[in-house]
């Protein structure tokens, strides 16, 4: 008893220090800055002000917030729709490590370089347009870049590994005989997936959704580099507020919105995970007393 | 099922299997682990496609149909209950797929819960059930669609021995009540013998013999069947002579392992010099301390020394070393009260005898 409580402190100590330095302190600074008066050349003046929050209530900002939400939800939905079959195929494959490797390989390259690669693919004289022309599918270049479609495409590409990995892990521990049982009882291939597989990998779906949605919601390089004038997302506004308009309190207030959305997502994920753990613990207890 | 074959690479998991199963039968597929029973069952259910052959159900080849279109349901060895659904919804699953009316779902589930004696457990999740209860849910779920055939793949193997016995009896009662065909896979010969109408004994992808439990036990078609079902004494032998005897034939066999000739009756005439396998079940042997009073021509008699007596309450099993060195198994039932202990003990000199009618010629080995 004594020993374990002392051990607890030993383990919790560094963790607490880590959290304080890298998470709580910055968060505190952001909250603090958001309620201070903006400095003339950036930074803040040490006077209380709710100006930042009043500036948030503004149709232009609401428009960007709404756009950010739409883009994030769409990109996350597409990512998940692609990641699910991928994760499933990987879990059922006999070459799991090969596929895991392939999913991780993109991380070896800097993300900016990968975005520039997409510019090379999508631009008006880029790879995609030239290929389509060579195949005589189109005559004139399509405008594939600097629009919402390009932003979503590249976001999906950037964050799909974050969706695939948790899905793969959950599906890998799923008992595939349940799918046979469902088929046996009259379910089609599709129904067996929707009625049996999906409900049983719920926590994996939530985790991968949250892991994808949060970074997409705060994205700023992708809309900046492949988006058009109307592709601005919250992340871009924050950067502008910090670097151009030099309104640090407003940047802080907007950041807090992202933090809030992320927190809600993570809480949801943790709650789903905790419920599943409770159910599993219950079953283990039962099995033990049998 | 006709000429069904299935290979994995060069390995033949099923080798030209033909079985005819009658409507309403409790049919068992019996064989050691890895002999292809599961592969055969999965082919019937539709999870595996044979390379050759046809599987007919009510006169129609079902091989082209996917599992969900076959009037066949399976009870899986690992239960395969849906963990996210409670007992009620697990059993109702097939009805929900057919979008049946709520009231009819309720009635049917209640009826099948009662059949498997699980009323009152509707709202439990599978994780909260014991192994036996899970198995019952799996049975109810497989039956609720009213399939033509119920497939059971070693459904009791994950349960302990006591529970296995009682669930087996219950399974037999369910079979009697609903009267559909059961195809029951097991590697446990006593399970198969006790409940089946007929049994197919398999080994290495082949069906060696199909028949009623007593046909299989009393008249095994091959050495393997004789050895796999129950216990036996099995010896290679050569026919010395064969003469008509009452309605059958009395053969005299030279058995090298016994160092002498024995007599056995068999339906068929056997040419002198034919090589055969001879078997006699241990419980058909008599073991006595004194030579039998009447020695007739059709009694085979050997003397030996008890090498190993094994007492197990209702019976004793003796390994008797005969004069020639061969060990022969004898089982003696304890039909009378004996608080003095068995009359025959370790190292006792005994006489082992059996009648010519109790031996059996298993297999003619042409060489
Ligand atoms: N998918 C498969 N790939 C290769 N070999 C298999 C496969 N499934 C079964 N086998 C082989 O086929 C044989 C029969 O298997 P199975 O039907 O499961 O036997 P049983 O149920 O009688 O124990 C086994 O030797 C097994 O190794
Ligand atoms: Mg098996």
* Positions in chain A whose pLDDT score sits under 50: 1, 288-290
**CA-nearest residue, atom 3 of ligand 1:** B8
ipTM of this complex: 0.81
Burial classification of residue A208, based on how many CB atoms lie within 10 Å of its CB (0-12 exposed, 13-18 middle, 19 or more buried): buried
Mutation target to probe the B interface, by most B beta carbons within 10 A, among A170, A178, A184, A201 is A184
Q: Does residue A182 sit at the B interface (CB-CB below 8 Å)?
A: yes
pLDDT value of position B334: 84
Tell me the per-residue pLDDT of A114-152, one tens digit each, with 9 for 90 and over.
999 999 999 988 899 899 999 988 888 888 889 999 999
Long-range contacts of B117-121 (CB under 8 A, 24+ apart): B117/B170, B118/B87, B121/B87
Q: Do B127 and A181 count as a contact with CB atoms less than 8 A apart?
A: no
* A180 neighbourhood in chain B, CB within 8 Å: 47, 67, 74, 76, 80
* Chain A interface includes B148 (CB < 8 A): no
Per-domain boundaries in chain A: 35-289
Which residue has 């019952």 as its token pair?
Answer: B136
pLDDT of residue B292: 77
pLDDT of residue A288: 47
CB contact under 8 A, B94 and A196: no
The beta-strand segments (E) located in chain A are: 36-38, 44-48
How far apart are the CA of B34 and the centre of ligand 1, in A?
Answer: 6
User: What residues flank ligand 1, with Cβ below 6 Å?
Assistant: B 8, 13, 31, 33-39
Instruction: Give contacts of A199 with chain B, Cβ < 8 Å.
Output: 84
Distance CA A257, CA A64 (A): 13
Q: How far apart are the C-alpha atoms of B7 and B12, rounded to whole Å?
A: 4
pLDDT tens across A80-97, in order? 999 999 999 999 999 999
Best residue of B76, B78, B127 to probe chain A, by most A CBs closer than 10 Å = B127
Beta bridge pairs of residue A37: A45
Own/partner pairs for A16-23, CB < 8 Å, 24+ apart? none
| Ligand closest in space to the Cα of B30 | 1
How many interchain CB pairs under 8 A, A with B? Answer: 79
Task: Please give the residue of chain B at the shortest CA–CA distance from A187.
Answer: B68
Distance, CA B18 to ligand 1 centroid (Å)?
Answer: 18
Q: Indicate the DSSP class of residue A23.
A: I
Q: B76 and A186 in contact by Cβ < 8 A?
A: no
For residue B76, which of A182, A235, A7, A284 has the smallest C-alpha distance? A182
Measured between beta carbons, the chain A residues lying within 8 angstroms of B97 are: 185-187, 191, 195
Find chain B residues with C-beta within 8 A of A287's C-beta. 127
Q: Pick A35-289's CATH classification: 2.60.40.10, 3.40.50.1820, 1.10.3720.10, 1.20.120.1200.
A: 1.10.3720.10
pLDDT, position A5: 60
CB-nearest partner of B97 from A186, A189, A286: A186
Q: Residue B13: what pLDDT?
A: 87
Choosing from B17, B34, B200 the residue with most ligand 1 atoms within 8 A of its CB, the one to mutate for a pocket test is: B34
Tens place of pLDDT per residue across chain B (367 aa): 667 778 887 788 899 889 999 999 999 999 999 999 999 999 999 999 998 888 999 888 999 999 999 999 999 988 999 999 999 999 999 999 999 999 999 999 999 999 999 999 999 999 999 989 999 999 999 999 999 999 999 999 888 888 888 899 999 999 999 999 999 999 999 999 999 999 999 999 999 999 999 999 998 999 999 989 888 899 999 999 888 888 888 889 999 888 888 889 888 888 888 889 889 999 999 998 888 777 777 888 999 999 988 988 888 899 999 988 899 999 988 888 777 766 788 888 899 999 888 988 887 776 5
pLDDT given at position A289:
44
> Residue A15: its pLDDT value, please?
79
The two three-digit tokens of residue B3, written as one number: 């000429």
What does the alpha-carbon distance between residue A57 and residue A70 come to, in Å, rounded to a whole number? 19
Model pLDDT, residue A286: 54
B38 touches chain A (CB under 8 A): no
Burial of A109 (0-12, 13-18, 19+ CB in 10 A): exposed
């Amino acid at each position: 008893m004594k020993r374990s409580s002392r051990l607890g402190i030993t383990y919790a100590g560094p963790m607490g220090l880590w959290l304080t330095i890298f998470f709580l302190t910055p968060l505190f600074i952001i909250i603090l800055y958001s309620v201070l008066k903006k400095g003339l050349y950036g930074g803040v003046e040490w006077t209380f002000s709710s100006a930042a929050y009043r500036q948030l209530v503004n149709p232009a900002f609401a428009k960007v917030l709404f756009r950010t939400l739409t883009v994030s939800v769409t990109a996350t939905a597409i990512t998940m729709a692609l990641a699910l079959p991928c994760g499933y195929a990987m879990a059922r494959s006999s070459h799991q490590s090969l596929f895991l490797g392939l999913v991780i390989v993109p991380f070896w390259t800097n993300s900016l370089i990968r975005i520039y690669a997409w510019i090379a693919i999508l631009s008006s004289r880029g790879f995609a347009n030239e290929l389509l022309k060579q195949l005589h599918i189109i005559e004139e270049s399509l405008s594939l870049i600097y629009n919402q479609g390009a932003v979503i495409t590249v976001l999906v590409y950037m964050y799909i590994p974050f969706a695939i990995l948790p899905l793969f892990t959950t599906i890998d521990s799923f008992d595939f005989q349940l799918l046979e049982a469902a088929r046996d009882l009259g379910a089609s291939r599709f129904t067996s997936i929707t009625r049996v597989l999906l409900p049983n990998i719920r926590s994996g779906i939530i985790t991968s959704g949250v892991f994808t949605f949060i970074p997409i919601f705060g994205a700023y390089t992708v809309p900046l580099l492949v988006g058009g004038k109307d592709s601005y997302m919250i992340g871009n506004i924050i950067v502008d507020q910090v670097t151009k308009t030099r309104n640090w309190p407003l940047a802080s207030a907007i950041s807090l919105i992202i933090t809030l959305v992320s927190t809600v997502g993570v809480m949801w994920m943790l709650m789903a995970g905790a419920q599943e753990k409770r159910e599993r613990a219950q079953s283990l207890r039962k099995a033990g007393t049998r | 099922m006709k000429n069904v074959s299935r290979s994995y690479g060069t390995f033949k998991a099923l080798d030209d299997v033909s079985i005819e199963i009658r409507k309403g039968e409790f049919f068992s597929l019996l064989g050691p682990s890895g002999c292809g029973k599961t592969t055969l069952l999965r082919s019937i259910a539709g999870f595996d496609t044979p390379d050759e052959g046809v599987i007919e159900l009510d006169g129609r080849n079902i091989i082209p149909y996917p599992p969900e279109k076959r009037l066949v349901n399976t009870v899986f060895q690992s239960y395969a209950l849906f963990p996210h659904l409670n007992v009620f919804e697990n059993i109702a699953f097939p009805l929900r797929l057919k979008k049946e009316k709520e009231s009819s779902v309720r009635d049917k589930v209640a009826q099948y819960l009662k059949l498997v004696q699980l009323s009152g457990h509707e709202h439990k999740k599978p994780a909260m059930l014991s192994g036996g209860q899970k198995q019952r849910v799996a049975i109810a779920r497989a039956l609720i669609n009213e399939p033509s055939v119920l497939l059971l793949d070693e459904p009791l193997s994950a349960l302990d021995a006591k529970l296995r016995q009682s669930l087996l009896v219950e399974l037999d009662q369910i079979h009697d009540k609903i009267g559909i065909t059961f195809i029951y896979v097991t590697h446990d010969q006593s399970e198969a013998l006790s409940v089946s109408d007929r049994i197919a004994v398999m080994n290495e992808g082949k069906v060696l013999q199909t028949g009623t439990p007593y046909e299989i036990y009393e008249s095994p078609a091959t050495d393997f069947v004789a050895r796999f079902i129950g216990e036996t004494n099995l010896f290679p032998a050569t026919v010395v002579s064969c003469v008509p005897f009452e309605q059958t034939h009395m053969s005299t066999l030279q058995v090298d392992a016994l160092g002498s000739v024995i007599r056995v009756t068999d339906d068929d005439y056997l040419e002198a010099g034919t090589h055969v396998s001879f078997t006699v079940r241990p419980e058909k042997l008599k073991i006595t301390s004194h030579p039998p009073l009447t020695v007739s021509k059709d009694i085979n008699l050997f003397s030996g020394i008890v090498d190993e007596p094994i007492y197990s309450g209702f019976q004793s099993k003796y390994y008797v070393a005969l004069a020639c060195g061969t060990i022969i198994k004898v089982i003696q039932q304890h039909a009378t009260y004996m608080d003095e202990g068995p009359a025959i003990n370790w190292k006792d000199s005994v006489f082992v005898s059996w009648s010519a009618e109790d031996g059996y010629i298993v297999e003619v080995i042409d060489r």
